[in-house]
Amino acid sequence: MRRATWSVFLGVVLLVAAAAGLSAEAKVQQRTQLKLEGMLGKMAGMFGGKAAKEGVVTTVAVKGNRRMSTSDTTAELVDLDAEKVYRIDLRGKTYTVQTFDEIRKQFQKNEAKAQQEAAKEKPDGKQPEMEIEIDVKKTGQQKSLAGYPCDQVILTLTMHEKGKTVEQGGGMTMVADMWMAPKVAAMQDNLAFETRYMQKLYGPEAVNAARDLAQAMAMYPNMKPAMARLQQEGSKLDGTPLLTTMTMSGAGSPEGESAGGGQTGGGGMAGALGGMFGKKKPAAEPSGGGKAATLLTTVTEVLSIGPSDAQDVEIPAGFRQK
């Protein structure tokens, strides 16, 4: 049941994130920085190097049925016509090749293993009914990014036990602070390549994934007003986000019961993620509220947008296959 709850929460997040996508002829450079809290955050700061401190710059070029994603030391080329994925080591000047059929077989193997593990899990019993709330606001603030005028839009998504606040019920909050430009021509065809890739790679499986999300939404009546609200507020998200700061936070449940049933002081929905980030939540106060804490923050900024050419989606000359 908890897995289904998280599927709903993450499904909404993905629907929001899909506001930005690449066209079939675009070349986009962006920087992404991830900040973790707790022990993982400390380790990332100590050993993550420049990437952890300044973020990772990635260039994604799409030309027809080929897409090249390039970072500092690695790159990935997806060729829909050849049905192959090339993973490139830029330092070693080598690459490996994996066919779509090989990727499918690995996916099916992992899926079967996940189903076996799920069958071993004991039922949690009755789970509390959850509420999902979505709010989208234009702040009126403006600035220029990558040569485009942008308006600030803040989207807030919360998920908590019905009848309780986020703090009381150990809920989760996601805040996306976005600077939206008018629709950029080079990025109009939203997620077109990724959609074609998933359909060609997984076929009916891609359709099933969408169906499963719809079924999950149907299981939670409170999803319907949330999605209706998102559709109603959609005009405020009409454009291209060029800078997005996304923050996820959670609160421990008053009972201090973790997602695994142990007494960690970080229970409720946040317990599942809170433990990952090595951060125990404080015990509940007499008033019955758990203190909210930031779990992770991501900052994604589009640095440049332009057209792609055939050279952008080719393996560099002189590279050899491993």
- pTM for the model stands at 0.68
Evaluate whether 260 touches 276 at the Cβ level (below 8 Å).
no
**Residue that has been written with the tokens 């030391």 in this structure:** 73
The answer to whether residue 279 scores a pLDDT higher than 70 is: no
What is the domain extent for residue 124?
2-321
What confidence tens digit (pLDDT) does each residue in 67-98 have?
999 998 999 999 999 999 999 999 999 999 99
Average pLDDT over residues 209-220: 56
Q: Give whichever of 197-201, 208-212, 254-258, 274-278 has the largest mean pLDDT.
A: 197-201
The answer to whether residue 277 scores a pLDDT higher than 50 is: no
The answer to whether residue 139 scores a pLDDT higher than 70 is: yes
CA separation, residue 1 to residues 88, 96, 124, 218, 286 (Å): 40, 39, 7, 14, 29
Number of domains in the chain: 1
pLDDT exceeding 70 applies to what percent of the chain?
58
What confidence tens digit (pLDDT) does each residue in 104-130 have?
898 888 878 887 876 776 555 566 677
Higher pLDDT, 162 or 226: 162
The answer to whether residue 7 scores a pLDDT higher than 70 is: no
